[in-house]
Amino acid sequence: MPNHEPRGCPRGASYSWYLYSANRLKYPLMRKRLMKMWRDAKKLHSDPVEAWASIIEDADKAKSFKQARGRGGFVRSSWQEVNELIAASNVYTIKNYGPDRVAGFSPIPAMSMVSYASGARYLSLIGGTCLSFYDWYCDLPPASPQTWGEQTDVPESADWYNSSYIIAWGSNVPQTRTPDAHFFTEVRYKGTKTVAVTPDYAEIAKLCDLWLAPKQGTDAAMALAMGHVMLREFHLDNPSQYFTDYVRRYTDMPMLVMLEETRRLLCRWPYAARRRSY
């Protein structure tokens, strides 16, 4: 196994200076147009929910502050004011449209259990919709949790060195995983075959034995074709014990097949499927 070092990353080194940046946000901000409406409404309504309703139910007022989005215009507010506004808007939405119309996002537990639990717990208590990290973070592959049921619980990059075949798909390793890229290049010295799937000749393509350049938007079709070949060759035509053991232990494949011989789980059997052992 190669040494972990060097693991330097210029982005990580410069990040430490964010604390001292003049652009760092130290206080809550609110759009000036909305702040004026909110403060005027609070003078007329003692109930914050009614104050918010007077804004959002007025077509002209709602259009006015929504049109200001994307144009800046933020001014300093206080935590008490912004928290009251957020709470009032949440209560209004729940009363009028239902709790599932309140959607939120929490960081993954690996980032901070406190920040994760605070957001996830709040949304769970009110019956809101908790969006997963994969819904928001553009460089995390949703296929991973959909298949294995986990949240980026994958081996560390050093484990690439133990692989004999690596497919880099949706990750430009030298650019986005700079500290770990050396494992990708070093493993090739021991004979590991590497494949890059990217429509453009990105940095990762330069490090691979094979570059596959599908047209943009055809990745899904390519993945389905690869899955079809694997199932055909290792599950149907020439069953492999290794393949069978792997999919039973590590994927959701057992949940897609009935134990009754010659029966398959179809989407038109949702209720029958629940009553069967599969």
Please report the pLDDT score of residue 258 as a whole number: 62
Please state the length of the chain: 278
Question: Which of the pair, 269 or 236, is modelled with greater confidence?
Answer: 236
Mean pLDDT, all residues of the chain: 84
Residue 159 has pLDDT above 70, yes or no: yes
CA distances for 94 relative to 101, 122, 209, 275, angstroms:
7, 13, 54, 34
Tell me what pLDDT residue 264 has: 59
Q: Quick check: 272 pLDDT over 50?
A: no
Rg of the chain (C-alpha set): 26
How far apart (Å, rounded) are the C-alpha atoms in residues 65 and 74? 12
Checking if the pLDDT of 121 tops 60, the result is yes
The answer to whether 29 touches 19, Cβ cutoff 8 Å, is no
Q: Please, where in the chain does CATH 3.40.228.10 lie?
A: 157-212
- Any idea which of 38-42, 115-119, 150-154, 171-175 has the lowest mean pLDDT? 150-154
**Is a pLDDT exceeding 70 seen at residue 36?**
yes
- The mean-pLDDT minimum among 27-41, 42-56, 96-110, 142-156 falls in 142-156
- Whether residue 158 is predicted with pLDDT greater than 70 in this model: the reply is yes
| Domain ranges in the chain with CATH number 3.40.50.740 | 25-136
State pLDDT tens for residues 40-73. 999 999 999 999 999 999 999 999 999 988 888 9
0.75 surpassed by pTM? no
CATH topology of domain 157-212: Dimethylsulfoxide Reductase; domain 2 (3.40.228)
Asked whether the predicted pLDDT for residue 139 surpasses 70, the reply is: no
CATH class of 25-136: alpha beta
Q: What is the mean pLDDT of residues 114-141?
A: 77
CA atoms within 13 A on the CB side of 176: 11
